[in-house]
Structures are given as C-alpha cells and as structure tokens.
Amino acid sequence: MSVNDVIMDALVANNVGYVTTVPCKQLAGVIEKIEASSDMIHVPANREDEGMGLCAGAFMGGKRPAIIMQNTAIGVTINALATLIQFYRMPLPMLISYRGEVGEPVACQVEMAVHTKALLAQLNIPTYHFHKPEDADELSDILSYAYMGRKPVAILMDATFWKGQ
Amino acid sequence: MIRSDVLKTLIPIISDELVVCNIGLPSQEMHLLDDQPTNFYMLGTMGLASSIGLGLAMAQSKKVIAIDGDGSVLMNLGSLPTIANNQVPNFILLIIDNGSYGSTGDQPTYAGMKTSLTEVAKACGCDNVVECAAEDTADAMRAALAADQTTIIVSKCESGNIKVPVIEMDPVTIRDRFMGAVAS
C-alpha cells in the first residue's frame, strides 16, 4: 500500500473531519485524496497560521481537525501554535512535508530544515520523524495521541519516506 | 459612534448567537458589556478571528458571527479568498472598520486611507458584502442573520476606546464554556 493510502486510512480511522492544507510537491498525492474524500471537509488555506485558525474553529464546532503543510511554514505559525492551539489546549496533528533533508534538490530548503526540529522542541511539541515508508503505520496511533492529549503534534515526513508513494 | 457604541447596539441582536471576538478591545468590550458562554474571546493570535469563525461555521450548522477589526483583517487578508471560496449559509463576518489599530493606541491603518476592505472582499469573490455606517450596523446584522448566506458587514465607525479591564478568565475555561454552548 502506498504511504498516501496509509495516511488516508489513518485519518479516516481517527474520524478526522476537517483538514486544511497548504501544498508541497511531496504532499500532492495525499492532498488529492483528501479533496476527493467524502469523509472530511477539505479547506485549502493561503497561509498555515490561517489554516490553524480554521482548525481551531472546526475543533470547537465538533470536528477533529488536522493541518497538512510544509516545514518552511513553522516560522509563520509559532504565534498561532503558542497563543491559540496550545493556550486554549486544542488538538492539532500537523502532517508536515519535511523538505531540506537527504534527497533534497533545492539548497534553500535546507535552511529551514536545520531549524525545524529545534523550533518544534522549543515549543514542546511532540515530534515524530517518518523516514521509511513503513513508519506511516504509526500515524494512526499518533493521531489518537494528539486528540487524547489536546496538543499540537508534528509528524515530519522526509523525501526518503515519500519514495513510498 | 465608536466601536463600543456599535457593540452596544448589537448586543440585543447577537447575545444568543455564537460570537468569535477579536483579540484586544473587541473581546474585552464584549466581555464587559455582555459576557456569555456563546462568546469566544481571543486572547492572542491577532488576525485569526475570521478564520476561527469560518472553521466553526463550516463544522456545524448554528450561525456564527466573527467580530473582527480592520487592522486584524489586514493582517490576515488571505482569509477573505478562503471565505469567498467556502461560502456557508451560517457565517457572518463583521468588520468594525474604525481605520485604526484601536488596542495599541489608535495608530492609523491603511483601511482608513486608500484601501477599501469592502472592495477587497468583493474582489476576493465574497458575494454578499455590505458596507454601512456605524449607526446602521444593527440593521445590517439583523438582515444578515435572517439571510442564509455568508455575509460580510463592513461597519464604518470612528476610532476611540472606552476603558475596559483585561480578561482574566482562563483560556481553557473560555474554550470549554464556548464548546458547551456550541454543542447545546
């Protein structure tokens, strides 16, 4: 099974009902499946902090939210994570395309990659790094954990992982 | 009329509705004038009131009013195309447009200069955009609540603030109380 299908199955198994996305080349396949799914509302956002506002509202409206984004966006979401998602104790799984890792063709992506884990650690956000396609098998449990703990949780998915598409 | 005057005229109309209140003085004034479980007070995250309101409206069927400011809308201008392209029958965005950053000392915003948020919202594709004078805001809100259509109200009012205390309620209490009201 492709990692895109494993991700979709995990979202459906966890009753995720509201997904906002900002695209990345590595995420194209999974975003296409989310758009086509009748199990969840898909809202493309223009920026990731906007997406977090949408997810916060959807959570208060009774839906389980998730955001799909690229790691370069960590910088623009720190305030939303700290003063909205964490301050009000809301769950938010962040499925993150981890650009700038081994296999990356674009040098500029490395510049945010070197800060990604440090920023997430500074924010005390539980962080998982998917490197091999079989790592996706843990996603369902990670989603359950995020909703149980009512916290943002980051899942970084690098280029080697996406070879499993 | 300043923002607090506009809010006073709205309270009899919106008191029982779900209201997402923008950070700073809008939240503090609503908290002082009409604290309700149906009010969600933003204590941080300037710019996201319209996004939180839209997410809430999309996730359930009760009417949702987001009370935003011109400065905050300018900070998250990307929200307007998202609203335009995801129009739901139960979402009202009220932009209190006093042309200034009220909570930080009334510094002027571009909305008080050359930029018309009404025209921006229309250009983004929002179908039902109503610009009104401050004293007509209550009527515009009544009409918006009666209509089953995403409505953006741009209420042009004067800048100025009343003295209000900081909200000391715990954010989790605000959120939990609000979620109870949403689910009831």
Read off the pLDDT of residues B84-103 as tens digits, 9 standing for 90 and up.
999 999 999 999 999 999 88
The answer to whether the Cβ–Cβ distance between B58 and A58 falls below 8 Å is yes
Question: What would the mean pLDDT of B54-61 be, rounded to a whole number?
Answer: 98
Domain count, chain B: 1
Strand partners of residue B21: B41, B67
Q: What pLDDT sits at residue B5?
A: 96
Question: What would the mean pLDDT of B155-181 be, rounded to a whole number?
Answer: 96
Q: What pLDDT sits at residue A42?
A: 98
At the topology level of CATH, where does A3-150 sit?
Answer: Rossmann fold (3.40.50)
The answer to whether the Cβ–Cβ distance between A18 and B60 falls below 8 Å is no
* Closest Cβ opposite residue A87 in set B44, B49, B183: B44
- For the entire predicted model, the pTM comes to 0.98
pLDDT at A63 over 90: yes
Interface test with chain A among B18, B43, B45, B91, by most A beta carbons within 10 Å: B45
Q: What pLDDT sits at residue B36?
A: 96
Q: What is the CATH number of the domain that holds B173?
A: 3.40.50.970
Strands (E), B32-180: 39-41, 64-69, 91-97, 100-101, 107-108, 129-133, 151-156
* Closest Cβ opposite residue A50 in set B40, B64, B79: B79
CB crowding B86-120: b at 16 or more within 10 Å, else e? bbeebbbbbbbbbbbbbbeeeeebebbeeeebbeb
Q: What pLDDT sits at residue B103?
A: 86
pLDDT at A165 over 90: no
Judging contacts by C-beta atoms under 8 Å, the chain B residues touching residue A63 are 59
A83 pLDDT band (50/70/90 cuts)? very high
**For chain A, which residues lie within 8 Å of any Cβ of chain B, measuring from their own Cβ?**
17-18, 41, 43-47, 49-63, 65, 79-80, 82-84, 87-90
B142 pLDDT band (50/70/90 cuts)? very high
pLDDT at A88 over 90: yes
Q: What pLDDT sits at residue A164?
A: 83
Is the ipTM, as predicted for this complex, more than 0.95?
Answer: yes
Q: Give the tens place of pLDDT for each residue, A108-135.
A: 999 999 999 999 999 999 999 999 999 9
Share of chain B above pLDDT 90, in %: 98
Alpha carbon of B8: minimum distance to chain A alpha carbons (Å): 25
Q: What pLDDT sits at residue A1?
A: 86
Query: CA dist B176 to A103, A109, B27, B35, B106, Å?
Result: 44, 39, 17, 15, 32
Q: What pLDDT sits at residue A16?
A: 98
The answer to whether the Cβ–Cβ distance between A84 and B51 falls below 8 Å is no
Average pLDDT, chain A: 97
Q: Give the tens place of pLDDT for each residue, B93-130.
A: 999 999 999 889 899 999 999 999 999 999 999 999 99
